[in-house]
Chain A
């Protein structure tokens, strides 16, 4: 493998890990606040559809992004209503949202656009285009560093930079602000937070809203940045990989980034490894595809460290009488 193909593999890694990272950070807010979220997939899918539909109709990627975030936010509020206000089962709410998104996006897509559930291909204005960072062209000729800057760091979609920026923002918000402290507390011991006179319900809703907005970004990335339109079930289980990454990173922002990069790398590798051979043995692509899931199972079983989630996760909070 030469230098250039290694760079292109890493470039693909960054592109493929972006939606995972956004969804993973999204899940982090919700789960840190004590609301389990297996509905990441559904929120992303709904957002991807809304973003592509609006971008197709208006020709504006920004309006598409806004629509994606808006729809994802509504989905998140639905989940919030079920999990926080109505004290329903959070896991079942997640299952329902995933199914609702899968059904509605295909159904509405078919009805509105008549293209077998796809949205029309987006025009240039309806998509985000790659951004060339300053001096990328000039530095391109510089050996070793030039190509890294030109191919790897420059030339991504805006949302890619937003995703990596969000890692720093999330780390700061969760661990350096009062809001973050309270958010983490409400996931560990909501009663203590309640006793301190802070509203558990309000905090959890705030967390769920942030989750919705971030999932909106992730979904929009699928359909109006990476892709040029919405395709049936285009998130293809990435929401669950993000969930796996969240557990793997033990609900921490920086490890989440590295885990998502790892899972993105596996994905990029898997695309290149079709029919590839290693030491005369053919590696089944499916084995690499399944690796994130297998690793998560092994991690959860405590064989490689222990993943302990927020203590109050999954339990609706009821005030004592």
Chain B
């Protein structure tokens, strides 16, 4: 075995994800090049489309809000060693809870609608994740497969609900009634002129609160310590007297509740009604965000912004460069997941070697350690 030494912490947290991200961009650039377009122009168009002016930036923040929630949902579960692939379904079902309370309370006041909506989203989204959690904890079924199945079940259920139950008699399309103006949440553009007529709304602040809250829960509470113990070593956590099954259920529920906040942003903040497939693929982007952000709230905030910008920039792309559309962004996203998640081992060995090259002491130390273990 070569005398490899673990990377310094900063390289592991920041440098490696950035290199992987760069790799994903290079490969995406090759795809753009393949169809005869200039990747630099495309990149410039995405950046301008995302940050060019207040209007574009408002859209970027609106997408970012969704991705922070789904990123947090995936990351939260990941700390307990669970891979929640069902944020999409959880957010979708949460939309049902949101619209039900919103329609019930729409003539009161928007603050009431918002608070009740947040609660309902957490409840419905949390429930849709609790069931897979319960099934894993008590019946031993794998949470990944169950959450995949739950995504599809949610989708079928919502098509039914929107077509048969929530669709008002006057409407042709599968969507719910629109919330009355008295129950609609204000947009940030109402207070802050540059964001005028963009969909970024108060939920953005909820996302920031969620980031802080998740940080506190994971790293500053006994509960967070217990869940990280479970994630690192389930056997040790059981011997330490932690109820693993109870932990799995709670963590999955919180994860689902976080995913459910996407429904607050979309249903209460922007669309004011429940529409078919309103989650788009925010749940899957959340996987990329969590991987990119190394499951840390600061990382997730940055990765969420990155993907929000990519999304918004990608939407603008088609107007600037004909032939390139937002599906290019799906490709970039997939490559980011591939390189930062699945092929993380690609660059690590060479990076480790590079670091060793620049630090003879570390190399000596590593060699010493290596020989010590082989002799013993």
Complex formed: what's the CA distance from A99 to B339 in Å?
13
Contact B334 A247, beta carbon cutoff 8 Å = no
Q: Which of A247, A296, A303 has the most CB of B within 10 A?
A: A296
Q: A108-B35, A302-B140 are in contact. Are A92 and B157 (CB under 8 A)?
A: no
**Majority-rule SS of B interface residues:** helix
CB 8 Å contact bits of B120-164 with A (1 = contact, 0 = none): 000000000000000100011110111011101100110110001
Q: A88-B343, A243-B145 are in contact. List 12 more A-B contacts (CB 8 A).
A: A90-B342, A92-B342, A93-B338, A96-B334, A99-B281, A99-B330, A103-B334, A110-B325, A111-B35, A240-B148, A240-B152, A290-B156
CB 8 Å contact bits of A126-169 with B (1 = contact, 0 = none): 00000000000000000000000000000000000000000000
Instruction: Return chain B residues, CB-CB under 8 Å to A112.
Output: 35
Q: A106-B327, A321-B1 are in contact. Are A88 and B152 (CB under 8 A)?
A: no
- B328 interface contact, C-beta 8 A: yes
- B311 interface contact, C-beta 8 A: no
Complex formed: what's the CA distance from A297 to B341 in Å?
27
Contact B341 A92, beta carbon cutoff 8 Å = yes
Complex formed: what's the CA distance from A275 to B287 in Å?
38
- B307 interface contact, C-beta 8 A: no
Contact B335 A38, beta carbon cutoff 8 Å = no
Least CB separation from A295: chain B residue: B149
Can you show 18 pairs from A to B with CB atoms below 8 A apart?
Answer: A88-B345, A92-B287, A93-B338, A95-B341, A96-B341, A96-B342, A99-B330, A100-B338, A104-B327, A104-B331, A107-B325, A107-B327, A240-B148, A243-B148, A247-B145, A296-B145, A296-B149, A302-B141
- A62 interface contact, C-beta 8 A: no
Complex formed: what's the CA distance from A99 to B141 in Å?
25
Contact A91 B144, beta carbon cutoff 8 Å = yes
4 nearest CB pairs, A to B:
A103-B330, A300-B141, A93-B342, A99-B334
Instruction: Return chain B residues, CB-CB under 8 Å to A86.
Output: 342-346
Q: Closest CB-CB distance, A110 to chain B, in whole Å?
A: 6
- B85 interface contact, C-beta 8 A: yes
Contact B346 A300, beta carbon cutoff 8 Å = no
Q: Closest CB-CB distance, B337 to chain A, in whole Å?
A: 4
- A6 interface contact, C-beta 8 A: no
Interface residues of A in 71-105 (CB under 8 A from B): 78, 81-83, 86-93, 95-100, 102-104
- B6 interface contact, C-beta 8 A: no
CB 8 Å contact bits of A273-302 with B (1 = contact, 0 = none): 000000000001011011001101100111
Complex formed: what's the CA distance from A104 to B142 in Å?
30
- B52 interface contact, C-beta 8 A: no
Instruction: Return chain B residues, CB-CB under 8 Å to A290.
Output: 152-153, 156-157
Complex formed: what's the CA distance from A300 to B146 in Å?
8
CB 8 Å contact bits of A227-266 with B (1 = contact, 0 = none): 0000000000100100110010000000000000000000
Least CB separation from A300: chain B residue: B141
Least CB separation from B338: chain A residue: A96
Q: Closest CB-CB distance, A206 to chain B, in whole Å?
A: 20
Complex formed: what's the CA distance from A104 to B27 in Å?
12
Partner of B159, one of A103, A286, A294: A286
Instruction: Return chain A residues, CB-CB under 8 Å to B146.
Output: 297, 300
Instruction: Return chain B residues, CB-CB under 8 Å to A78.
Output: 338
- B284 interface contact, C-beta 8 A: yes
Interface residues of B in 255-300 (CB under 8 A from A): 281, 284, 287, 291
Q: A82-B338, A92-B337 are in contact. Are A38 and B148 (CB under 8 A)?
A: yes
Least CB separation from B28: chain A residue: A103
Contact B330 A107, beta carbon cutoff 8 Å = yes
The range of chain B's interface size is: 35 or more
Interface residues of B in 156-186 (CB under 8 A from A): 156-157, 159-160, 164
Instruction: Return chain A residues, CB-CB under 8 Å to B135.
Output: 297, 300-301
Contact B141 A301, beta carbon cutoff 8 Å = yes
Complex formed: what's the CA distance from A296 to B148 in Å?
11
Complex formed: what's the CA distance from A103 to B140 in Å?
34
Complex formed: what's the CA distance from A110 to B341 in Å?
28
Instruction: Return chain A residues, CB-CB under 8 Å to B342.
Output: 82-83, 86, 88-90, 92-93, 96
Instruction: Return chain A residues, CB-CB under 8 Å to B338.
Output: 78, 82, 93, 96-97, 100
CB 8 Å contact bits of A2-31 with B (1 = contact, 0 = none): 000000000000000000000000000000
Contact B153 A294, beta carbon cutoff 8 Å = yes
Least CB separation from A309: chain B residue: B142
- B333 interface contact, C-beta 8 A: yes
Contact B149 A100, beta carbon cutoff 8 Å = no
Complex formed: what's the CA distance from A97 to B338 in Å?
8
Contact A91 B331, beta carbon cutoff 8 Å = no
Partner of B331, one of A100, A110, A294, A300: A100
Contact B35 A286, beta carbon cutoff 8 Å = no
Complex formed: what's the CA distance from A286 to B152 in Å?
10
Complex formed: what's the CA distance from A89 to B291 in Å?
11
- B83 interface contact, C-beta 8 A: yes
Interface residues of A in 164-209 (CB under 8 A from B): none
Q: Which of A92, A96, A287 has the most CB of B within 10 A?
A: A96
Q: Closest CB-CB distance, A314 to chain B, in whole Å?
A: 9
Complex formed: what's the CA distance from A78 to B27 in Å?
14
- B242 interface contact, C-beta 8 A: no
Instruction: Return chain B residues, CB-CB under 8 Å to A96.
Output: 334-335, 337-338, 341-342
Least CB separation from A105: chain B residue: B327
Least CB separation from A297: chain B residue: B149
Complex formed: what's the CA distance from A102 to B347 in Å?
26
Q: Which of B152, B287, B342 has the most CB of A within 10 A?
A: B342
Q: A103-B334, A106-B327, A300-B141 are in contact. Are A91 and B83 (CB under 8 A)?
A: yes
Q: Closest CB-CB distance, B310 to chain A, in whole Å?
A: 12
Q: Closest CB-CB distance, B347 to chain A, in whole Å?
A: 10
Instruction: Return chain B residues, CB-CB under 8 Å to A240.
Output: 148-149, 152
Least CB separation from A83: chain B residue: B342
Complex formed: what's the CA distance from A88 to B342 in Å?
5
Complex formed: what's the CA distance from A296 to B337 in Å?
27
Instruction: Return chain B residues, CB-CB under 8 Å to A99.
Output: 281, 284, 330, 333-334, 337
- B208 interface contact, C-beta 8 A: no
Complex formed: what's the CA distance from A284 to B161 in Å?
10
Least CB separation from A112: chain B residue: B35
- B367 interface contact, C-beta 8 A: no
Instruction: Return chain A residues, CB-CB under 8 Å to B160.
Output: 284, 286-287
